[in-house]
Amino acid sequence: MGAGIVGVSTGIWLRRFCDAEVVILDRLAPGEGTSHGNAGVLAACSVVPVTMPGLFGKVPGLLLNPDFPLFMRWGYFPKLLPWLIKYLSHANDRDTRRIADGLTMIIGDCVDQHKALVADTTAAGWVQDSDYSFAYASRSAFEGDAYTWALRHEAGFDPVIREGDAIREFEPNLSPSIGLLATMKNHGFVRDPGAYVKALAAAFQELGGTIRQAEITDFEISDAKVTGVVTKAGMEPCTHVVLATGVWSKPLMQKLGLSIPLESERGYHIIFEEVQGGPAHPIMVASGKFVATPMAAGLRCAGVVEFGGLQADLNPDVLKLMRKQARAAFPELSHGQEIEWFGHRPAPSDSLPLIGEIRQTGIFTAFGHHHIGLTGGPKTGRFVASLIAAKPVNIDLRAFSPMRFA
Residue 176, pLDDT above cutoff 90: yes
CB 104 within 8 A of CB 157: no
| pLDDT value at residue 60 | 84
Give the confidence band of 305 by pLDDT, cuts at 50, 70, 90. Answer: very high
Pairing verdict, β 41-42 and 180-190: antiparallel
DSSP codes joined into one string, 161-210: EEETHHHHHH-TTS-TT--EEEEEEEEEEES-HHHHHHHHHHHHHHTT-E
| pLDDT value at residue 62 | 85
Give the confidence band of 59 by pLDDT, cuts at 50, 70, 90. Answer: confident
Give the confidence band of 64 by pLDDT, cuts at 50, 70, 90. Answer: confident
Residue 188, pLDDT above cutoff 90: yes
Helix (H) or strand (E) holding 86: helix 77-88
Burial zone of 191 (CB within 10 Å; 0-12 exposed, 13-18 middle, 19+ buried) = middle
Which tens digit of pLDDT belongs to each residue from 89-140?
A: 999 999 999 999 999 999 999 999 999 999 999 999 999 999 999 999 999 9
Give the confidence band of 3 by pLDDT, cuts at 50, 70, 90. Answer: very high
Give the confidence band of 161 by pLDDT, cuts at 50, 70, 90. Answer: very high
| pLDDT value at residue 346 | 97
Which tens digit of pLDDT belongs to each residue from 314-354?
A: 999 999 999 999 999 999 999 999 999 999 999 999 999 99
Cβ-count burial 49-68 (b if 16+ within 10 Å, e if not) = bbbbeebeeeeeeeeeeeeb
Read off the amino acid at residue 214. A
Domain boundaries, the chain: 5-405
Compute the chain's Rg from CA coordinates. 21
Residue 164, pLDDT above cutoff 90: yes
Q: Which CATH number fits domain 5-405: 3.40.50.920, 3.30.505.10, 3.50.50.60, 3.90.1170.50?
A: 3.50.50.60
If you average pLDDT over residues 135-150, what whole number do you get? 97
| pLDDT value at residue 339 | 97
Residue 66, pLDDT above cutoff 90: no
On average, the pLDDT of the chain sits at 96
CB 287 within 8 A of CB 145: no
Say how far apart CA 264 and CA 246 lie, in whole Å. Answer: 9
If you average pLDDT over residues 379-388, what whole number do you get? 98
